[in-house]
């Protein structure tokens, strides 16, 4: 089995992050620095990440965090900035974020040690919609119409599955926007392409899973029913 899939399956990271770990020389197989595309056998080969042996007996867990602004959605940051992992210090086993919210965004962020679950949530082919509350500046009436049509960003054509005008103010207002593609900073870029400046962005749902009244900066475990609803 390829190392990327092994690390994902045993909850070390997503497959994409696993590739970065390998490229960074942080994964060893039988004491030798691993290479991308390399295969190994869990339980037979000794696999370590940052010197920590792979736990092949790790049970899967699933967590929802209400991410505050000012935190990076990553396991670590070489520049010493705050990461979401600082908010999960009470979680005893290793988990990783499922997707990302940029530093200035907040709201629902999932964590797991189940790589297959993470891939199912993130991959566009599974069509799991993410919904955001977005506060903006600009001509919101004109932009709402434009956002309901295909939008070009980063040489890609993207589509919002839902755009709802919640409130209009003299200088902007607020919208509900749902997407399925999940490209980097997609909602912000879509708004910018339609003449809006995002002043606040909060993810309120992933699939059928809603943030609800979970306090800012707090987390909780998902129920089995919730996991099945979006996995």
Residues with a known catalytic role: 102
Residue 161 DSSP SS3:
strand
Rounded to an integer, what distance in angstroms lies between the CA atom of residue 209 and that of residue 230?
7
**Half-sphere exposure of residue 174, counting CA atoms within 13 Å on the CB side?**
10
Going from the C-alpha of 116 to that of each of 8, 10, 14, 142, the distances in angstroms are 7, 9, 8, 41
Residue 62: which of 27, 98, 31 has the closest Cα? Answer: 98
CA dist 55 and 8 (Å) reads 12
Closest CA relative to residue 228, chosen from 65, 16, 60, 95: 60
Rounded Cα gap, residues 199 and 132, in angstroms: 13
Residues 39, 25: contact at Cβ < 8 Å? Answer: no
- For residue 168 the two structure tokens come to 């209009």
Q: Fill in the DSSP letter of residue 84.
A: G
d(CA 193, CA 187): 10
């Amino acid at each position: 089995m390829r190392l990327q899939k092994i690390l994902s399956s045993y909850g070390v990271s997503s497959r994409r992050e696993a590739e970065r770990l390998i490229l960074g020389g942080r994964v060893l197989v039988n004491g030798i620095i691993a290479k991308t595309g390399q295969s190994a056998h869990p339980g037979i080969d000794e696999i370590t990440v940052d010197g920590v042996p792979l736990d092949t007996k790790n049970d899967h867990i699933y967590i929802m965090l209400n991410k505050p602004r000012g935190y990076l959605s990553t396991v670590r940051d070489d520049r010493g900035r705050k990461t979401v992992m600082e908010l999960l210090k009470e979680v005893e086993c290793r988990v990783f974020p499922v997707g990302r919210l940029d530093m200035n965004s907040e709201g629902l962020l999932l964590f797991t040690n189940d790589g297959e679950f993470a891939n199912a949530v993130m991959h566009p082919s599974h069509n799991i919609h993410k919904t955001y509350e977005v506060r903006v500046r600009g001509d919101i009436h004109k932009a709402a119409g434009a956002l309901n049509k295909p939008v070009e960003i980063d040489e890609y054509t993207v589509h919002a599955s839902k755009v709802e005008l919640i409130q209009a103010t003299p200088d902007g207002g607020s919208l509900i926007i749902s997407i399925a593609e999940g490209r980097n900073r997609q909602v912000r870029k879509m708004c910018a392409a339609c003449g809006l400046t995002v002043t606040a962005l909060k993810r309120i749902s992933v699939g059928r899973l809603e943030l609800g009244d979970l306090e800012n900066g707090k987390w909780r475990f998902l129920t089995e029913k919730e996991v099945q609803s979006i996995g």
